[in-house]
Each structure stands twice: as C-alpha cells, then as structure tokens.
Amino acid sequence: MKDESSFLKPLRRGETFRFACHPGVPCFTECCRDLRLMLTPYDVLKLAEGLKMSVSDFVDNYTNLEFMEPSGFPVLFLAMRNDEKRRCPFVTNEGCSVYPYRPSACRIYPVARATKVHPVHGTLIENFFLVRENHCRGFEENKEWTIDEWLQDQELKNYLTLNDHWTRIVMHPNLKKGLTEAQRRFAYILCYDHDKLAKMLSSDKVRSTFGLTEKAISSLMEDSDKLLHFVFNWLAMSLLGR
Ligand code: SF4
Ligand code: SF4
C-alpha cells in the first residue's frame, strides 16, 4: 500500500542525494496517480506540442481550470483519470507515455524548489529541498546527484526560466486585490487559448502597439519559448503596468 508520509529536507547547492527512477524499482509508476499537478503555461505548450494537439484541444481534454486565491488568476491542473486510483492520463505499465515533454513538476521530483523575490534588488532567491516520501524506493538506489546535475539531467533550464517569468506575474503583490473578469479572460487567452491569441496578435491594434510584422507573428507562433516570453511581457505590462 502507498505510504503517504513525507518530509522536506533542505538541500544545499553542492550537497548530494541518492536517487534513481527506472522500470526496475518496485514502486514504478506508483506515484503517477491521485496528484494535484499544476501545469504552468510552458508545461501546457510543451505537452500540446508533444502530443501534436492544439493548445486549446489539450486544455479541453486534459485539464481542469481553477482560479488562484486571492488574485483570481486562471491556472490549470492536469485532470486525473476518472478511475478508482485516479491515475494520470499519461501513465502506462511501461511508464510515462509523454516522458520527453512531461511537466516540470514531474521532471524536478524528488527535488522541490521554492522561490521568492528579493524585496530590494528584485532578484529571485531560490531554495531547494529533497521531498522524502516513504513510498518512493528511488532513494534506495546508488546513483548520486547534486542539485545542478539533477536539473541538467531533467532538462529543466527552459522550464525554470519561463515558469519563473510567469510566477513573478501571478504572485505579484499588486494582484492581491483581485483581477476583474475582463483581466481574467485576457490572462486565460494569453496563457491557454492560442487560437484566440493568434487572432489578437493579428489585429491592427496589437500589431501597431508592438510593431509586429506578419513575419514576426509567424515566428512567435512557431517558437513556444519566444511566444511565452512575449506573452508574459504583455501580461506584465497590462496587469502590472510594467
Ligand atoms: S515512487 Fe519514486 S522511484 Fe517509484 S516510480 Fe515514483 S519517482 Fe520513481
Ligand atoms: S505526466 Fe508522466 S511522469 Fe507525470 S504523473 Fe503523468 S505519467 Fe507520471
């Protein structure tokens, strides 16, 4: 039976931990169920790309929409299957069927990363922890990692950069008073409704505001990293006046 007890152990940079996850561990895929798994806009884009679906179709088929408290910012969670174990829709007996484009939360586990913005310098301060869950037998394996080795192995660089950009907006103190309905809709379209986003980008008003040519719009729509940097800057400008 899955033992749910867990604790967080602070991890310093350079300190090592032992961990490996592979089909040979006795708990293989046991953790891919009954999860409250938040998907960042970058997670959603990468999963949709990997599954060769439009972002809107992915959102309709695989996510549940919630609103953050107190800002009311829209945020998506991966919808678990409607079966007894509430399994992830992508788990199979062979493992994760979306492994190359799995979300950031699945990549970083068993490490947890907490961030906060420096009150004076505005830089991001990060702290790392090891999530020790008793049901996870990966800690009994011999492979050793530092945090940096783990982040690199899990190809997290772009995920962390874009997730941090998004987090700085959604957690901004100015949003505590709550978004208006129009702002919520705007944030949803920019982050998750890329059919409508493409139409917005092609409108005369948006094109002239940002000086966008047809070529620039196509290049944004073809490059998810570029598109999200642009979208997050637009969100920050519109919601935070930056
Ligand atoms: S519980 Fe740990 S070792 Fe087992 S499958 Fe999940 S991550 Fe891998
Ligand atoms: S996306 Fe993959 S790794 Fe993440 S919970 Fe689902 S099956 Fe497991």
Atom nearest to 98 CA in ligand 2: 2
Host domain of residue 224: 175-240
With 0-12 CB in 10 A as exposed, 13-18 as middle and 19+ as buried, what is 220? buried
Predicted TM-score (pTM) of this structure:
0.94
Q: Residues with Cβ within 6 A of ligand 2?
A: 32, 35, 88, 90-91, 96, 98, 102-103, 106
Q: Is residue 1 part of a domain?
A: no
Whether the per-residue pLDDT at 144 is higher than 90: the answer is: yes
The reported pLDDT for the residue numbered 121 is 80
Boundary residue ending a domain (135, 170, 205): 170
119 Cβ contact partners less than 8 Å away, ≥ 6 residues apart: none
Boundary residue ending a domain (118, 148, 170): 170
Q: Per DSSP, what are the bridge partners of residue 9? A: 130
Atom nearest to 135 CA in ligand 1: 1
1: confidence class by pLDDT, cuts 50, 70, 90: very low
Verify that 165 and 212 share a domain, yes or no. Answer: no
Whether the per-residue pLDDT at 79 is higher than 60: the answer is: yes
Give CA–CA dist 85/181, Å, rounded: 36
Verify that 68 and 155 share a domain, yes or no. Answer: yes
Verify that 42 and 97 share a domain, yes or no. Answer: yes
Whether the per-residue pLDDT at 3 is higher than 80: the answer is: no
Q: Residues with Cβ within 6 A of ligand 1?
A: 21, 25, 27-31, 135-138
The reported pLDDT for the residue numbered 120 is 80
Boundary residue ending a domain (170, 200, 217): 170
5: confidence class by pLDDT, cuts 50, 70, 90: low
Residue 88 CA, ligand 1 centroid: distance in Å: 14
Atom nearest to 35 CA in ligand 2: 5
Number of structural domains, the chain? 2
Verify that 127 and 156 share a domain, yes or no. Answer: yes
177 Cβ contact partners less than 8 Å away, ≥ 6 residues apart: 70
Whether the per-residue pLDDT at 122 is higher than 80: the answer is: no
Verify that 208 and 117 share a domain, yes or no. Answer: no
Alpha-carbon distances, residue 93 vs 100, 106, 141 (angstroms): 17, 17, 21
Task: Find tokens 């152990």 and name the residue.
Answer: 9
Verify that 79 and 116 share a domain, yes or no. Answer: yes
